[in-house]
Every structure is written in C-alpha cells, then in structure tokens.
A = this chain, B = another copy of it.
C-alpha cells in the first residue's frame, strides 16, 4: 500500500506500450495523455492488424465509445491475442445501456476476453452487472451507492471493477479502495474517463498488485486534476494544464495529497 504513490515511477521507467482500441472522440486526448504519463500509446483499430498490434503491446484497452460490428470483432481478436500473451486487458464500457447494440457488444466482449479490470461510472458498471433494477437511477446514485454498486458488480461479474464519480472505488468485491481525489472540471473534458482507463492499463504493467496498481493510477490522476485546476479558468485551460500535470507530477506530491480509504467487505455486508 505504501508503494501506491510511487508506482508512477515504474511507469515512467518502463514506458509501457499501451494498445488502445478506442473511440474516435477521445483517441487524440488518450494518446497525448499516455505520452504525458510516460507511457507509449498505439491506437490500432483495424481488424486487419488488431491482434498483431496487441501482441506487440504491454497492455490492451478496449473502449466501446464509438462501436461498429467490425470493431467488436477486432476487439475480441485483440483481446484474445492479449490473453494469449498474458498482458493486462482493461474494458471501458462507455455508454453501455444507452442502446441495445452497445449492451450486446459489451456482453460479447466480457464473454470472449479475460479482462483484468472494468472501469466505468456507476450507471455503466451497474448496468453491466444487471443491477439496473436495484439502483435509484444513474444520476441519483449517492456515494454510498457508488461503493455498493462497485462491490456488488464485481461479485456478480467475477471481475475487479473501478467505479469513478465524485469519489472513485476500486474493488474485487472483497478489498475496497476509495479515492477522494479529483476535480469537477474533469466532467467537462470529453474523454477524461476514457483516458483514465488507459492510464490504469499503463499502471497495470508495473509490479503493483492489480487493485494497488489501479488505485495508484486513479489517485495519481485525481491529484493531477487538483494540481491542474489551480491554474485554470475553464475546461479549455484545464485540459491543457491537466496534460502538463500528468507529465510533471511526482510521487512526493501524490504521497502528500492522496486521500485514500481502504476496507475489507465483512461477512455481514457480503
């Protein structure tokens, strides 16, 4: 746990190659964000080379933000290549539940590829796990619910999840990490969640454990947002300052700023 703030140094030393099959909206911001963190991005969506490129990479990110049928096939081919190579695979189920096509695609990916972790907001993760009817509605979820959704979804899916929102929850259904960092301007920059999924993938190439490395990524990201917001007069300057912060932020500042809560789910809660 004490190494969580320092895992960024491993990312920067290793410069892992992160293969992103992601949506058109965020592809540029994701590549720039990965460079800023110290990783190397590659964005290769085509079915003709998705598996070959995954086989070159240190981690794979599958993001369903602007899917097509052929893109789903490319994701599954890349995912299987990544599984065969033994590298981490992160799923970002953007907007799952918004259309039947998107929901079916996410389920198909989950059933075909062994995922390391799934990152989304409470509505997305809850929908994936079939919690929809248990929820008060995506927009109405409280922080308590954020943690409940994460824990219950991880148990049902059998996969660790990261639920991000005002607070961020990382859990495998037993161990729970809650990060209280971040800034509201992140919600005004398109792709802030998508980039985080890719940053998580970069941290998963370190020797931190899965939950610890995910927590390191989420807290590093949140502290960078806080630093960036200090020099900001709106979402335009924030986005620019955020890339600078991801590039410059060192582990000492993370250590001093991180607001982390951890607990284990008790039998009663389970």
CB within 8 Å for A188 and B36 given contacts A27-B24, A46-B67, A48-B101: yes
Q: What residues on B are CB-neighbors of A41 within 8 Å? A: 190
List of B residues within 8 angstroms of A187 by Cβ:
35
- Number of copies of this chain in the oligomer? 3
Instruction: Give the residue of B98, B237, B247 whose beta carbon is less than 8 angstroms from that of A234.
Output: B247
Q: Size class of A's contact patch?
A: 35 or more
A210 vs B66: C-alpha distance in the bound complex, in angstroms? 31
One digit per residue, 1 when the CB lies within 8 angstroms of any chain B CB and 0 when it does not, for chain A 27-66 equals: 1110110011000011111111100110010000000011
Interface locus among A159-167, A173-181, A238-246, A253-261: A238-246
Give every chain B residue within 8 A of A248 (Cβ-Cβ): 233-234
A99 within 8 A of B: yes
Chain B residues within 8 Å of A65, by CB: 43
A26 within 8 A of B: yes
Q: Chain B residue with minimal CB distance to A190?
A: B31
Q: How far is the CA of A235 from the CA of B99 in the complex (A)?
A: 36
A69 interface residue per 8 A CB criterion:
yes
Instruction: Report how far A35 CA is from B188 CA in the complex, Å.
Output: 5
Tell me how far the C-beta of A167 lies from the nearest C-beta in chain B, rounded to whole angstroms.
Answer: 21
Distance in Å from the Cβ of A123 to the closest Cβ of chain B?
13
Q: What is the interface of chain A, defined by CB distance below 8 A to chain B?
A: 23-29, 31-32, 35-36, 41-49, 52-53, 56, 65-69, 95, 98-102, 187-191, 233-237, 239-248
Q: Could you list some 28 contacts between A and B, CB below 8 A?
A: A24-B24, A25-B27, A26-B28, A28-B28, A28-B191, A31-B190, A31-B191, A32-B239, A35-B188, A36-B188, A42-B95, A42-B98, A43-B65, A46-B66, A46-B101, A47-B68, A48-B69, A48-B101, A49-B98, A53-B98, A56-B99, A188-B247, A233-B244, A234-B246, A236-B242, A236-B244, A236-B247, A237-B240
